[in-house]
Structure 1
């Protein structure tokens, strides 16, 4: 399973915050926004990533994330010169996807749930078609509204309807079988010249190969691409972390999944020992559950 993080665009909903800095590099409490979608796919077991962004912003993402090797990952990068729609990610990333299935997450979407690792792992296994992830919202009109049958099959997708038939919308998290690349190349751009992800999903709907997993009340989904969304996300992360844990701590996820050992994790935290984030990483690596306390105490 490959993973694509779409972090392009101009961030117009956040102007003037994004005049000089990519939206996905803005801080959400104690870490860059890009950490959150990356951590989401890591929780599902993805280790091979492609970050898609503008030619101007890509060097900044490379500085922030590197090649992923320190975390036991592989992170590569590709340019999207201008906003061309979500589905354009599969054209840009066709060579990266190769013959594999692929997951896609938008760079401003934040997910938090105790069920997330298991849900993603199940959804990424033996993918045939597409898996969408739904969340109920008070006002679904600005989103893609999804209807599903009792067995989870998608039976309707409507983009930004004036009279929604459901309160459930498709979030910015998607899983596809390998033929999504072919489908993305086959669809016609919209009047705005963009490749719409809804058009890709409708192909799977017509084939009877689209499924929807509905996140429940225990799952938090946030769109951090607006002023209020960014502020809400910051407050949410701060409140959750008051209990002592860290949301989207890449080093911790890599350690818990066995991508790196405790010694490597400790060293990564030590690089940032003056920050609360770095201190947390060092504490996690020193936990006796990992059986390496002697090493990190030297």
Structure 2
């Protein structure tokens, strides 16, 4: 089956919304997850959130915002936590400067996994579909074709894959396992023996069923609710589609860490 390819260049918890005055258009909701302790980047993350660190000429979080806004997603919730959450509000405000129509914030009391952070956005997304983006993921090319493909998808979920030929790197990622028809049959988290060269990137698409899945998840061995378990729930029911991303994809945190390792 020929898969759509993302290839167009472009380059308890309370939550509150700050509106820029834009019209309330019926559109897919965006959720940016910017939590975590950023322990790999200590001591930098002792003074700020990892997603506020600079990547080239602007804060890391701005790349995630550009990815969604450039894909036609104008209503966004930012989920964060820790002691530096207020710095996002100081930087982003109502989001108008960054092209956001309406920007909402949610606070994750403690690190409990990506799936737990997503659960905080349930009231924001309501009955709409959502695109979820990990704030430290960097994409060379636009994810707009993937967003448009999900708009046309009748139901279920969608993930975006990237071909990663280095097995050692794949051992630290979620990796797709395919059946004979090139459909994903399972996603394996940090496999000792990667079943393919295709890693699952940090952009996920879900319909309303995700809110039924999240409450019944069980914590993993590290005590967190894993997004891979959400994706496998959809796969087990034949409700998952995927795109293959062209161009560079990477974790900005790893990029910063590598820079300091080289210059140490």
- In which range does the TM-score fall when normalised by the shorter chain? 0.7 to 0.9
Moved more, 82-91 or 21-30: 82-91
Aligned to 2:237: 207
Q: Unpaired segments of 5 or more residues in structure 2?
A: 1-27
C-alpha distance in structure 2 between counterparts of 1:111 and 1:126, whole Å: 23
Partner of 1:225, secondary structure, is helix
Deviations along 1:243-291, whole A, 9 cap, x unmatched? xxxxxxxxxxxxxxxxxxxxxxxxxxxxxxxxxxxxxxxxxxxxxxxxx
Displacement of 1:56 in angstroms is 2.3
Partner of 1:34, secondary structure, is helix
C-alpha distance in structure 2 between counterparts of 1:104 and 1:130, whole Å: 11
Larger radius of gyration: 1
TM-score (norm 1): 0.72
Does structure 2 conserve the Cα–Cα contact (< 8 Å) formed by 1:44 and 1:116?
A: yes
Residue 162 (1) aligns with residue 192 (2): yes
Aligned to 1:53: 80
Displacement of 1:64 in angstroms is 1.0
C-alpha distance in structure 2 between counterparts of 1:186 and 1:148, whole Å: 26
Relative to its length, the structure with more strand (as a share) is 2
TM-score (norm 2): 0.81
Match of 1:141 among 171, 177, 182: 171
Aligned to 2:118: 90
Displacement of 1:29 in angstroms is 0.6
Displacement of 1:227 in angstroms is 5.0
Please show how residues 253-292 of structure 1 align to structure 2 within 5 Å.
none
Residue 23 (1) aligns with residue 50 (2): yes
The one of the two structures with greater contact order (alpha-carbon pairs below 8 A, sep at least 6) is 2
Q: Unpaired segments of 5 or more residues in structure 1?
A: 233-298
RMSD of aligned residue pairs (Cα, Å): 2.0
Aligned to 1:12: 39
C-alpha distance in structure 2 between counterparts of 1:5 and 1:152, whole Å: 29
Does structure 1 conserve the Cα–Cα contact (< 8 Å) formed by 2:49 and 2:85?
A: no
Deviations along 1:208-243, whole A, 9 cap, x unmatched? 011121113xx21011112556749xxxxxxxxxxx
C-alpha distance in structure 2 between counterparts of 1:172 and 1:38, whole Å: 14
Q: How many residues align?
A: 229
Deviations along 1:87-133, whole A, 9 cap, x unmatched? 112321111111111111111001121x5323322223345111111
Aligned to 2:25: none
Residue 77 (1) aligns with residue 105 (2): yes
Displacement of 1:72 in angstroms is 4.8
